[in-house]
Amino acid sequence: MFEMFPNFWTPVLPVAEIGAVPIAVELAGESLVLFRSSSGQFAAFLDRCPHRGAPLSQGQVTADGCIECPYHGWQFASNRACVQVPFNSLNPDHLSKLSIVSFPVRVIAGILWIFTGTENVPELKLPSSLLEPDERYVIHHAIWNAHWTHAIDISLDYLHLPFVHRNSFGGELNDAAHKNAIAQISITPTADGMTVTNRLNTLSSGTKIDWHQPNHIVLNLDGMPLLPHFFAIPINTQKMRFMQVLLPNPGIDRSNFDFDEFFAASDDDRAMVESQIGEVPNVNEGYNVPTDEPSLRFRRW
């Protein structure tokens, strides 16, 4: 189960998009159903009834917060227990053997997180910038037709900015690239990834990029009025969900800030990422130069 992305915590969807109507999602090649019970509890199950394999996402959530199979009406509570089998009188011991496959979930930063495993569930550890009240975050996500590793690869690559983003925010760097600027890149290993600091010898501004394994990037650009978090969420080997979670600075006037313009800049990345084939190649494929080291460390991981 989840063979392409096993035993990781990952965001899936903003909780604002999950309600009492079951939602079918694909995560790392597995079909899941998400729903919120009447008491506000979130649940993530395999989208397959253990009785006859019907998709629970085509069922409904009952008034008491259970998900009901559309085929024979079996009901499952958010704690995965089977609580109702119509037309049968089953004792509690029998019912306990009919539970559904479920996955651990958490709600943080206005997002539903799922652990892609069922045993030895670790604590969900996140940077402090994702532990603010939910209402502080601005969230956007889109489906990209690419393997998730390419989105992390390009996010770690500071020097794509002047070319891929030449018509958005890469202008200053584009000028520097044509004036023989030299990149100064330092990498500091962390407990769950690395911090990459980037500067050009001709500019005073720079970036700090934090990679949190496996699929989380925090981008800190000098002078930017917000802190972007990027997530490359695998759907399957050919598709991913690119989620941006923005934390605006406390003093920013959110009513006058064009968040859509910021989100639109990722379309530049999307075009490049979708032009790639398969997952990122190993470190022995293609030519590499010193400025590729952040990407190479990700590929070695």
DSSP letter (8 states) at residue 230:
E
- What angle do helix axes 148-155 and 293-300 make, rounded to 10 degrees? 150
How many angstroms separate the CA atoms of 13 and 272, rounded? 24
DSSP letter (8 states) at residue 255:
G
Partners of 67 in the beta sheet? 61, 76
Ordered by start, the domain boundaries in the chain are 9-119, 141-300
Quick one: CATH architecture of 9-119? 3-layer Sandwich (2.102)
Class of domain 141-300: alpha beta
With contact defined as beta carbons under 8 Å apart, do 268 and 165 qualify?
Answer: yes
Beta-carbon contacts of residue 219 (< 8 Å; ≥ 6 apart): 155, 207, 209, 227, 228, 229, 230
| pLDDT at site 128 | 97
User: Taking residues 244-249, what's their average pLDDT?
Assistant: 97
Q: What is the pTM of this model?
A: 0.94
User: Taking residues 95-121, what's their average pLDDT?
Assistant: 96
What are the pLDDT digits (tens) for 179-217?
678 889 999 999 999 999 988 876 667 789 999 999 999
Check pLDDT > 80 for residue 173. no
